[in-house]
Amino acid sequence: MWGIVRKKVGAGASCILTSGQALQRLRPAASASRYYSSAAKEMTVRDALNSALDEEMSADPKVFLMGEEVGEYQGAYKITKGLLEKYGPERVLDTPITEAGFTGIGVGAAYHGLKPVVEFMTFNFSMQAIDHIINSAAKTNYMSAGQISVPIVFRGPNGAAAGVGAQHSQCYAAWYGACPGLKVLAPYSSEDARGLLKAAIRDPDPVVFLENELLYGESFPVSAEVLDSSFTAPIGKAKIEREGKDVTITAFSKMVGYALKAAEVLSKEGISAEVINLRSIRPLDRATINASVRKTNRLVTVEEGFPQHGVGAEICTSVVEESFGYLDAPVERIAGADIPMPYAANLERMAVPQIEDIIRAAKRACYRAVPLAASG
């Protein structure tokens, strides 16, 4: 299947949509341990992001928002709903359709001590502005010998949505995760979204904040601690969403939900899977990953992005370098197909990992199924 890519490293061996209205039809209506399990209240990821922006703007007058349709239209995905009315057009700036232009303005504002939050309608459009993100934002602190900080957040939906084709479906986690000077975050739950966005806005360095369009309407339990205005989630710290002893599954963003569902199925077949929500792509929490693998002795990595030079490849390398002697099976790497995203729904499903792909990989790692290489 296209959606499965397996790497053996174990012990044995452009049409650009230009308005939120056009995109609307495509939308569906600091511990390593999970600590919201007993929460009574639920919150959507959309509301978690909105509340984080609202609270940080209220707390710090240097924080401002800019991007296409963040103001009058209240955000292409309604993340910035109500903020123009509350804070006015000087702090919620609608921009022309020119990512290179407004991203450069944002970086310049950060040079002078402001704290811009730049929204991309999709991170695919950040390619128009990647010179500012990499060369102007990520490298300036180093090149100025620490004299210039660049406290800026680049946020928006990343990765595959539904039926939007190759030019609007790419995952940029590995792209930006490869660049020194950036911090790269990928939230899954409402707790992640709220805590990590608040931490990103407060951080003195540039942060790439990779959301997922299909998660905006999802509701998750949140505790009173998470709802407190002082709450932040730690950058660079993964979260163990489900403890297990037989196999470690790492994932980020929407794939965390898939991994949890796969773990539930596996539990009924006697396989105890530990699911790690990476949350932070750069810095990567290698310590939590390796500690888990040393316990379970097996690893499955899951991501939507391309397989070559992917996040999973980096995790595999880390485990081989630090925990090779603990592996009892080859590492299983699940990723998107090594092709541009198809438009047709049936082909699109084949091009991204599915729950059954994760289940099969975990079974192979636990020697509960015929190895992939022998199944042809």
Task: Tell me if residue 99 is catalytic.
Answer: yes
Q: Which residue, of 196, 227, 258, is where some domain finishes?
A: 227
pLDDT range class, residue 326, cuts 50, 70, 90: very high
Q: Exactly one of 68, 132, 168, 213 is catalytic; which is it?
A: 168
- Is the residue at 76 inside a domain? yes
Assess whether 130 and 257 both reside in one domain: no
Q: Exactly one of 68, 99, 218, 274 is catalytic; which is it?
A: 99
pLDDT digits (tens, 9 = 90+) for 204-250: 999 999 999 999 999 999 999 999 999 999 999 999 999 999 999 99
Average of per-residue pLDDT values in the chain: 90
* pTM for this predicted structure: 0.88
Q: Which residue, of 179, 197, 227, is where some domain finishes?
A: 227
Domain span at 348: 239-366
In angstroms, the CA 291 to CA 303 distance is 20
Task: Tell me if residue 112 is catalytic.
Answer: no
pLDDT greater than 70 at residue 74: yes
* Average pLDDT over every residue of 101-111: 98
Assess whether 163 and 211 both reside in one domain: yes
Q: Which string of DSSP letters, residue by residue, matches 107-150? A: HHHHHTT-EEEEEPSSGGGGGGGHHIIIIIIITHHHHTTTS---
Assess whether 98 and 189 both reside in one domain: yes
Q: Six-digit token pair at 219?
A: 């509701």
Assess whether 221 and 248 both reside in one domain: no
Closest CA to 59 of 231, 280, 233, 279: 231
Query: Hey, what amino acid is at 212?
Result: N
Assess whether 118 and 267 both reside in one domain: no
The structural domain count of the chain equals 2
Q: What is the CATH number of the domain that holds 288?
A: 3.40.50.920
Q: What is the CATH number of the domain that holds 121?
A: 3.40.50.970
Q: Count Cβ atoms below 10 Å from residue 40 Cβ, excluding itself.
A: 8
Q: Which residue has the higher pLDDT, 199 or 12?
A: 199
Assess whether 193 and 297 both reside in one domain: no
